[in-house]
Amino acid sequence: MFSGTFAILIKGTMEVGGVANTWSIVKEKGRSNLIDFNPDPTIRQSFWRLFVWGLIYGFKLQFTQASFQRIKATPTVAKAKQMYFIACFLFLLISGLAVLDGAVMFAYYHTKGCDPLLAKQVNNQNQLMAKMVRDIFQDIPCLPGLFLASLFSAALSTMSSVLSAMSAMFWEDIVKPHMKPMSERKAMRITQLSVFIFGGLTIIVTFAISGIDGPISRICDITGACIIGALYGMMLLGWFVPRANSLGALVGGMVSFLFVGWISFGKLVSSGVRVDAKLEPASTDNCPVFNVTGMTNATLMEYTYSEATWNSSSTIAGATQTDIVSEPQGLDILYSLSYKWLMPIGFSLVFIVGSIISRFQAREPVDPSLIIPVCDYLCCCIPERIRRKIRCGVEYPGTDKKMVEDEAESMKELVSAQKNVPTI
């Protein structure tokens, strides 16, 4: 994956004419505005969106079943923490490389003088990178195959972990509690069959998503925010709120799922949702528009309009990009929230609703090792009597050493339990 990403970055920069030319084009066309402090939540990308969403999204490394499988594979808590630090570094690295690849791709097609999206050489934004690879590596043997291998290696490594986790959960939570004890061989066959079924469903969903316009990251964030936000919220509710109980988690999770799902559905179907003004496209001076066989009048008009919008000085005198964007009305204001805010909203709803519902329920005994004493860590200057109220009667271990020992013991139990789960 890294080799394919670096190959595109290096070759694309060489085609543009170097790092200086690439940065000059990106800056000239408005792609270098990395920090926007505008607090408007309907703006697709801003500093606040990146900060809040990125902070909460970082918890994803801890809450997924695939991550838990890796935790169980580490011998100690210290090794698990090291794994997370390495994973965070690699995640930031690959994200940064993806951003740089996008900048190089824009500069390349601007230098070439033909925006593939406007020229209808591709039908979807998600096809742009594949086209660029074909264009820049068409005379170099093996490199297009390297890019294809990098895609498959990244996709298959992720999907194998996800499918393995789903099969384990299917066996432990659905099949095993409702069946008589069986041999490990038969249990393994059931988990293998479940992987085959889940894989088939994944392929069907992939074909369905391929027909939706827009970046794949945006599609996944909109459709998955209702589930992911509720999941993360329930996990943190149990960790940070001593009085949290099953009813609070259930009600909070359902409220979060329904509310965020409603917003997500509205974003996809409503015609009044605010659409951010598009940035200036790459140059189209050298696009072979009039040489394309079967060019329709509608396509030609769209191409001409796109050119005129940016090249004509008489389009709208003195208007800015923001000025020409229609403002949403009514529920469309809610539907116009940036898709990156959906997961934080879902997470917050679970936390708030779950805490309120749990407050009105009878207090239940809590194992201190299952609660994270956030107040003791972050608010150590608060008087003890106030912190005691926040703890809701839970007495935490007295020293960090004791907590580490308890965590190590719990980890050993998880590792031993994992050996009894049938693997594929």
Residue type, 80: A
CB 397 within 8 A of CB 376: no
Structure confidence at residue 241 as a pLDDT band (50, 70, 90):
confident
Which DSSP letter does residue 370 get? G
Percentages helix, strand, coil for the chain, rounded to the nearest 5?
Answer: 70, 0, 30
Q: How do the domains of the chain map onto residue ranges? A: 366-419
Give the pLDDT confidence score for residue 317 in this predicted structure.
31
Of these ranges, 48-62, 65-79, 184-198, 217-231, the one predicted with the greatest mean pLDDT is 184-198
Structure confidence at residue 353 as a pLDDT band (50, 70, 90):
very high
More confident residue, 147 or 415: 147
- Picking from 161, 12, 176, the residue whose alpha carbon sits closest to that of residue 4 is 12
Count other Cβ atoms within 10 Å, centred on residue 336: 24
pLDDT digits (tens, 9 = 90+) for 99-133: 888 889 888 888 888 888 888 888 777 778 888 88
Give the Å distances, CA to CA, from 313 to 25, 82, 281, 309, 367: 21, 57, 16, 9, 69
Give the pLDDT confidence score for residue 215 in this predicted structure.
64
Q: Is 34 helix (H, G, I), strand (E, B) or coil?
A: coil
What contacts 149, CB < 8 A, 6 or more positions away?
4
Examine the pLDDT at 315 and tell me if it is beyond 50: no
Count other Cβ atoms within 10 Å, centred on residue 55: 10
CA 268 to CA 224: how far, in whole Å? 13
CB 232 within 8 A of CB 60: yes
CB 260 within 8 A of CB 346: yes
